[in-house]
A and B are shown apart, each in its own frame.
Chain A
Amino acid sequence: MEERRKMIEMTGIVKKYFIDTPNELAALNGVDLTVHEGEFLAVVGASGSGKSTLMNIIGTLDRPTEGHYTLDGVDTNAAKDSELSSIRNQKVGFVFQTYNLIARTSALMNVELPMLYGGMSRKERNERAEELLRMVGMEERMKHRPEELSGGQKQRVAIARAMGNDPSIILADEPTGALDSSTGRMVMDLFHQLHDEKGKTIILITHSPELAEETERIITLKDGAVISEREGSGHAVV
């Protein structure tokens, strides 16, 4: 395990809001985190503990107030906004609790979107999007719009979209939070598949202890700091 490439390397990450005001708030308070390539990691903790804030910084949607962060060898502190958007496009795939599919746009087009922004040719991205939708079992619903899909179906499309440019890391913020347990199970199985078969690095935020147990490593946040770290089973308990 020690030989594996470091995907994420964070030291002393601090994120503060309302800086220099009486109600200054530190959502993250000096987080050190290293994640290797191909790891499946769960982040747990109470509401407001800073999980989403950490996730957004990992995904380069947000910049830390203090600390140093290197993603897949790229020093994000030094990167310009335009470079960050291309990092998000090529290296990161987001899966949100609320799916965040683009309305009035077919499932296929939603999956094509990251490839479109990445400059892939029309034919290539079309073929690839169809293949990804087949992988998540949504080939029957390619032409459907988000309004016409169930929650679980939407989340499967969202996962296919996250895989658009074959990113090295997938960030999922409570992806099963809005789903019933059996649909959630299906989504979780998809993550296992991406991890086991494609060797993706996956970071999963969840409130469910059972789902967290299925990952390889579980990090617990409290008040913006990592308070414990332990190993999980690494596979689904059937």
Chain B
Amino acid sequence: MLLYENIRLAFSSLRANKMRAFLTMLGIIIGISSVIAIMTVGESIESSVTDTMGSLGATNITVSLQEKEDEEEGESVEMGMQFEGPGRMRTPTEDDYFTDAMLHDYCENYPDTIEAISVQESLSSGQLLVDKLYANVSPSGVSDGFFLANDLELIDGRYFSDHEIENHSMAAIISDKAVNNLFQGDTDAAIGSTISLVSGDQYLTVTVVGVYEYEQSIYSFGNTSEKDLSTDLYLPLPTARDLNHTTGESSFTVVTAAVTDVDSFISSTEQFFNTYYRNNRNFEVYAFSMSSMLDSLTSMMGTITTGIALIAGIALLVGGIGVMNIMLVSITERTREIGTRKAIGAPNSAIRMQFLVEAMVICLIGGIIGVILGTVLGLVAAKVLDMPATPSISSILISLGFSMAVGIFFGYYPANKAAKMDPIDALRYE
């Protein structure tokens, strides 16, 4: 019944002491706004990372070479004396690479589980040139499975033909952005055209067979203009290996059938390949999936969130003590008012409610200002990091609820003190 009047009263008493009210709110504003800002940025990072990983495929398994830990202590010490101890990074050499024969056996062994194998051989970055026009590209050779593993679909043209793969031909699949830069967006003109590719110190000529749609990823930070944007250019895998003078890869990705138990397939895969590497002095095989990385990312985010919550808690505690202090001052100042209200017949509960509402209003206004400020800060930060911003509704609601709770907790003691005042003492107060 009295709630509406109490809220109006709280506002009028805050208006009478604007500066004081604002300073009191400051602790709450700082606490809430920092939580909201960091939550907004955090959720942006998390959602964009999850998006990217999702597009990479959570059921994809990456298999790579990893340096063996020395099994025999004695040997390790001996090697240490030869300055070849653990900690020295080795790079896999031609002899260590996965061979096509191994991959072939692997596929034969698990025909139902493996949907495709994606292998990528990177080349030095470079430029496509058509007359005076250019397009920056990162060329690489890819196996058929690459397009499936990365959900890459062509908007025009075709994938590599068996003939092109077997003949190590210079067929290329380029992005629509490159087509924009070189052919003014005319894909029909692009497909079938033969253009120059400079990759590192190699001058090559490629024939465009397909065009795919470029997707912005979180890894492409910054504000590179469309014109200078570097996009991927794909060649058949054997072609790229020829150019790099290599015959194998140190890692590849497996696309598994949807029904597969990824975790158990990871260990089967490791076991399968390690039979080949049992006698390899330096390397063994390590496999992992995006879903396992996603799990560790989620738990890391959880830890960060807990840390922030702790800091926010301290800020709110300090803010709450400020509110309590100002309410005690306010009650002393208004002792005669309290006495008058009691003389008029206000029950203690009404006096208590009046000051409790006032404390809650202070905290809630502080909370609202904090939410607005924090959201703005978070959006600006997300903009700067060039990420999709997602203000978190749940953290906004929790923050507002929490600031109300702070008001109740720290407002109760002063409000109760006011309620318990002796009416005569309050009326006679000078």
Contact = CB atoms under 8 A, between A and B. Distances in A.
Contacts of A118: 345
Interface in A93-136: 94, 96, 100-105, 113-114, 116-119
B344 A113 contact: yes
B348 to A, nearest CB: 7
Nearest to B15: A104
B21 to A, nearest CB: 14
B346 A105 contact: no
| Chain B interface category by residue count | 20 to 34
A56 interface: yes
A89 B348 CA distance: 13
B12 A100 contact: no
Contacts, number: 66
Given A100-B427, A104-B13, A85 B1 contact: no
Given A82-B348, A85-B347, A116-B2, A100 B340 contact: yes
A92 to B, nearest CB: 8
Interface string A60-82: 01100000000000000000011
A12 B344 CA distance: 27
Contacts of B347: 82, 85-86, 117
Contact of A117 (B12, B16, B350, B427): B350
A215 interface: no
B345 A117 contact: yes
Contacts of A117: 341, 344-347, 350
A152 interface: no
A175 interface: no
Nearest to B12: A104
A119 B2 CA distance: 9
Residue among A85, A116, A161 with the highest chain B CB neighbour number at 10 A: A85
A86 B348 contact: no
B148 interface: no
Given A61-B427, A62-B424, A103-B337, A90 B345 contact: yes
B5 A61 contact: no
Interface of B (DSSP majority class):
helix
B248 interface: no
Interface in B260-287: none
B145 interface: no
Contact of A89 (B13, B337, B339, B344): B344
Interface string B2-40: 100100010011011000000000000000000000000
Given A104-B13, A105-B9, A61 B423 contact: yes
Contacts of A116: 2, 5
Contacts of B424: 56, 61-62
Interface residues of A, number: 30
Interface in B317-356: 336-337, 339-348, 350
A59 B5 CA distance: 26
A119 B350 CA distance: 11
Residue among B5, B336, B339, B423 with the highest chain A CB neighbour number at 10 A: B423
A102 B343 contact: no
B344 A88 contact: yes
Contacts of B12: 104-105
Contacts of B343: 59, 61, 88, 94, 100
Contacts of B9: 105
A85 B2 CA distance: 17
Contacts of A94: 343-344
B16 A88 contact: no
Contacts of B342: 61, 85, 88
A189 to B, nearest CB: 24
A102 B345 contact: no
Contacts of A89: 344-346
A114 B1 CA distance: 14
Interface in B145-178: none
Interface in B414-428: 423-424, 427
A113 B341 contact: yes
Residue among B12, B337, B343, B427 with the highest chain A CB neighbour number at 10 A: B343
Contacts of B13: 104
B329 to A, nearest CB: 16
A90 B347 CA distance: 12
B345 A100 contact: no
Interface string B339-375: 1111111111010000000000000000000000000
23 contacts: A61-B343, A61-B424, A61-B427, A85-B346, A86-B347, A88-B345, A89-B344, A89-B345, A94-B344, A96-B427, A100-B427, A102-B337, A104-B12, A105-B9, A105-B12, A116-B5, A117-B341, A117-B347, A117-B350, A118-B345, A119-B1, A164-B344, A165-B345
> Which 7 pairs between the two chains have the least Cβ-Cβ distance?
A89-B345, A88-B345, A100-B340, A114-B344, A61-B423, A117-B346, A94-B343
Interface of A: 56, 59, 61-62, 81-82, 85-90, 92, 94, 96, 100-105, 113-114, 116-119, 161, 164-165
Interface of B: 1-2, 5, 9, 12-13, 15-16, 336-337, 339-348, 350, 423-424, 427
Given A59-B343, A62-B423, A100-B343, 10 more contacts: A82-B348, A85-B345, A85-B346, A85-B347, A89-B346, A96-B340, A100-B336, A105-B9, A113-B344, A117-B341
